[in-house]
Amino acid sequence: MAFTGSPQPPVLKAGCRILASGNWELETPPHSCPDPSPAYLDHALEFTKPPSGTDAVVVARDVRKSYDSRPVLRGVSFTLRPGERLALVGPSGSGKTTLLNCLGGVDRPDSGSIQLHGEALETLSSDGLARLRRQRVGTIFQFFHLLPTLTAAENVEFPLQLLGTPPAERSARVDALLHRVGVAHRAHALPSQLSGGEMQRVAIARALVHRPGLILADEPTGNLDTANGENVLALLRELGDETGISIVLVTHSLPATRICHRVIHLRDGLIDREESNPA
């Protein structure tokens, strides 16, 4: 991806550096990595900078969406900056998943505008939306959505296959990410042989492997016990800080909102209130 020219993500911390090329690199295997990657894999965790022409990863303006004439989103506007983590909270049925689907180009708003990395989604064809989603967005689900007949490593590799990434590069990135999320020892296991926590770690690796600028996570701890949920949240926070990736996190859980810089409360398809968090 050729993202160039935009300011550095604001949350860069020790252990990660920006190369002369503008891309990202982890300096050392992170402390939470139980089995450090071989040195030749270091480059595989490189992340690209956000694009020129905008400081924002997402600009949503007056987004409206109805199903069967029933309004679900009634004019939602917000901006998401590079490196920012935003929690979306609200009662069941308040439109959180619908908004996430619109942000990721899975669904289209009836009106309003969503810019993703400066591209207005409403101007894109279905193919254009699919391309943008494959290149720029990573998604994490409550129920993991791993492909059951593929191993953990093959699941992580899948987005790179769709993008036509060469095999050696695919393998390097998959190895590096499985190490980073702490499941390298389960690389050849099928999803049915993994615990919930392991499945979500694999899903996080899959969401990051193509180095998107945005992660959309829909209740990613909703199907995990407390300890595994906290581990997954800590991992998302670390990865966000290390890479500068932006995250929109739909959640019902208070601990999950604490890893976010901002919290937007949705109610009946509208932003009810917004809080800032010292994440």
Ligand X SMILES: Nc1ncnc2c1ncn2[C@@H]1O[C@H](COP(=O)(O)OP(=O)(O)O)[C@@H](O)[C@H]1O
Cα separation, 33 vs 29, whole angstroms = 6
Minimum gap (Å) between residue 178 Cβ and ligand X: 30
Locate 102 and state its tokens: 């619109």
Angle at 52 between CA 58 and CA 116, to 5 degrees: 20
The DSSP output letter for 36 is P
139 touches, from ligand X, Mg ion, none (C-beta below 5 to 8 Å by class): none
Binding of ligand X by 98 (CB under 6 A): yes
Q: Considering only the stretches 51-59, 87-95, 180-188, 189-197, report the one whose residues sit in contact with ligand X under the rule CB under 6 A.
A: 87-95
The site that binds ligand X (CB under 6 A) totals a number of residues, namely: 10
Burial string for 209-224 (b: 16+ CB within 10 Å, else e) reads: bbbbbbbbbbbbbeeb
Cα separation, 49 vs 3, whole angstroms = 5
Q: Give the H/E segment covering residue 72.
A: strand 70-80
Cα separation, 86 vs 236, whole angstroms = 12
- The alpha carbon torsion through 32, 34, 40, 43 (nearest 10 deg) reads -20
Binding of Mg ion by 98 (CB under 5 A): no
Minimum gap (Å) between residue 108 Cβ and Mg ion: 18
Cα separation, 18 vs 47, whole angstroms = 9
Binding of ligand X by 228 (CB under 6 A): no
Instruction: Indicate the residue whose CB is closest to Mg ion.
Output: 97
125 touches, from Mg ion, ligand X, none (C-beta below 5 to 8 Å by class): none
Q: Considering only the stretches 38-46, 57-65, 92-100, 163-171, report the one whose residues sit in contact with Mg ion under the rule CB under 5 A.
A: 92-100
Contact 133, 183 (CB under 8 A): no
Cα separation, 250 vs 141, whole angstroms = 10
* Phi-psi label, residue 112: left if phi above 0, alpha if psi -120 to 50, beta otherwise: left
Q: Show the binding pattern over residues 123-162: x = contacts ligand X (CB under 6 A), - = does not.
A: ----------------------------------------
Q: Considering only the stretches 26-34, 69-77, 93-101, 207-215, report the one whose residues sit in contact with Mg ion under the rule CB under 5 A.
A: 93-101
83 touches, from Mg ion, ligand X, none (C-beta below 5 to 8 Å by class): none
93 touches, from ligand X, Mg ion, none (C-beta below 5 to 8 Å by class): ligand X
Binding of ligand X by 94 (CB under 6 A): yes
140 touches, from Mg ion, ligand X, none (C-beta below 5 to 8 Å by class): none
Binding of Mg ion by 97 (CB under 5 A): yes
Q: Considering only the stretches 3-11, 27-35, 97-105, 147-155, report the one whose residues sit in contact with Mg ion under the rule CB under 5 A.
A: 97-105
What does the radius of gyration of the chain's CA atoms come to, in whole angstroms?
A: 18
- Cα 30 to chain centroid distance, Å, stands at 19
Angle at 103 between CA 99 and CA 105, to 5 degrees: 115
Which is nearer to ligand X, 73 or 153 (by Cβ)? 73
Minimum gap (Å) between residue 222 Cβ and ligand X: 11
Residues that bind Mg ion in the complex, under the rule CB under 5 A: 96-97
Residues that bind ligand X in the complex, under the rule CB under 6 A: 67, 72, 90, 92-98
